[in-house]
Amino acid sequence: MSKAVKLALMLTAMAVVAGCQTAPKPLYQWESYQPQVYEYFKGEPKEAQVEALERDLQKINASGRQAPPGYHAHLGMLYLSMGKDDQMVQQFRTEKALFPESAAYMDFLLKNAKAPEVKK
């Protein structure tokens, strides 16, 4: 066989093998996280956002996947704005545990959320 034929066969075999690969699973399951962040900045009711994020979190956990970075932090911020401090702390700690690179920021938020307000 000539070199050209061998090269053509090798390229064909590589194309067949590459074509048989399946796409990798996504690392995170986003559900409606991104639209909910948009709703937050539009000033939509926080209760509806929390409800949607909690519902999506149940779907994510049921699928065995993981929520994306910032998901629990955003949910914690919503809880903070609603005065639900226990749930806020839980979400910030979950974010910190799942994404250790967020530890400094989560600690900062926890520290400032617990600081007494200055009365004017």
The predicted structure's pLDDT at residue 6: 78
Distance of CA 114 to the CA centre of its chain: 25
Residue with tokens 């996947």: 65
pLDDT of residue 77: 95
Instruction: Please give the biggest Cα pair distance in the chain.
Output: 90
Reported as a single tens digit per residue, the pLDDT across 26-43 is 788 888 898 888 888 888
Q: How high is the pLDDT of residue 19? A: 63
pLDDT (0 to 100) of residue 117: 53
* Amino acid identity, position 104: A
Sign of CA dihedral 71, 74, 80, 83: negative
pTM: 0.74
Per-residue confidence (pLDDT) for residue 1, from 0 to 100 = 72
Nearest 5°: CA angle at 34, between 31 and 35? 90
Residues in the chain predicted with pLDDT less than 50, given as ranges, are 118, 120
Q: What is the pLDDT of residue 10?
A: 80
Domains, the chain, in order of start with CATH, read 27-114 (1.25.40.10)
Q: Give the pLDDT score at 20.
A: 66
pLDDT for res 57: 96
Q: Are 37 and 68 in contact (CB under 8 A)?
A: no
